[in-house]
Amino acid sequence: MAEYEWDKKTERSLSNPTLTASQYLLLYSDEYNLMSDITADTSKNTLRGGFTLAPRDDSLPSARLSAEGGVNQRPSATLSVGNQLLNFESRFEDVPPQQGGDVFTSTLSGKAGPFRAFYSETDQPGNQGLERTNIGGSWNIGPAELFARRTRSRQEVVDPRHARFFQNTGQDTKIDTIGARGSLPLGRGMVSGGVDRQFVTSRFPQQIGQESRPMAQDSSVNVGAGWSGKAGPGILAMRGDWRRGEPSLRGSYTIQDLLGLGGKFSATGSYDPNRESAVEGRLQYKIPLGGRR
């Protein structure tokens, strides 16, 4: 759950000087503060805000109701109740009908010492009755983290006009992932990486006359590593991944306020054989409207 500073009235960023955040104290008591906040980004024509019931004692639960949207952003709303030990979150996303319609997600998560766990359910009725569940957990061991998760999903993939020819009209997919990841300081930056093994099982619609549902299974090992840190006047970031037998590389170099005008210079490059353009590169210089703030 997000944390808020009660005395902060306005917030500006050199990378986005049009972003302002205002907070108002609505109710004060010995145990709780009730706050409202609103943030407007005029460069993207977006607005977000909400109400936060924050305890003065961290052992007590907190609650937050928030919403966001804009000219080029579909509205969404989130309700979150709890604390780090146990937290419940319910989220609604307004999705266009051509993309499956509205999405509803409920998540229960918790943390106790080095252990974390979560369980979530997602429903998108307009997307062929899509139902998805996620369950997982992790264990921090110093700079490393061991994790495991399982994702199950189901959709009705048979046209209703042909459903009478099937005993089962849905497609079910189960994805199990186990792995480890971590990071360590190296030089003037941090090196990070991870490895995981993924198992995928899919069951397809069963026609009348078939003894069992058609099934497919697959597994893969994925490895990734990278480094990010200070290099000269800027920040250098590099990463390489090996996923399902295909390598990919990407890197970036960023310099803040290169010309003394509050702007940001960035150079990026990537190699990914799964994209239409396997090799990409870009040079970019962004300067805030109105110059330095």
> pLDDT digit string (tens) for 201-229?
999 999 999 999 999 999 999 999 999 99
DSSP calls for 261-288: SS-EEEEEEEE-TTSSSSEEEEEEEE--
> pLDDT digit string (tens) for 224-246?
999 999 998 899 999 999 988 88
Reported as a pLDDT band with limits 50, 70 and 90, residue 289 is low
| 3-state per-residue secondary structure call for 149-199 | EEEEEEEECCCHHHHHHEEECEEEEEEEEEEEEEEEEECCEEEEEEEEEEE
| Region 152-159 average pLDDT | 96
Q: What is the mean pLDDT of the chain?
A: 88
Compute and round to an integer the Cα radius of gyration of the chain.
Answer: 24
| Phi, psi (degrees; rounded to nearest 5) at 31 | -110, -30
Q: What is the pTM of this model?
A: 0.76
Ordered by start, the domain boundaries in the chain are 1-94, 97-226, 232-293
For tokens 């306020």, the residue is 257
Contact residues for 211 (Cβ-Cβ < 8 A; gap 6+): none
Tell whether the model's pLDDT for residue 291 goes beyond 70: no
Tell whether the model's pLDDT for residue 290 goes beyond 90: no
Question: Among 114, 125, 121, 124, which Cα is nearest to 135's?
Answer: 121
pLDDT of residue 265: 87
pLDDT of residue 38: 92
Q: How many CB atoms lie within 10 A of CB 14?
A: 13
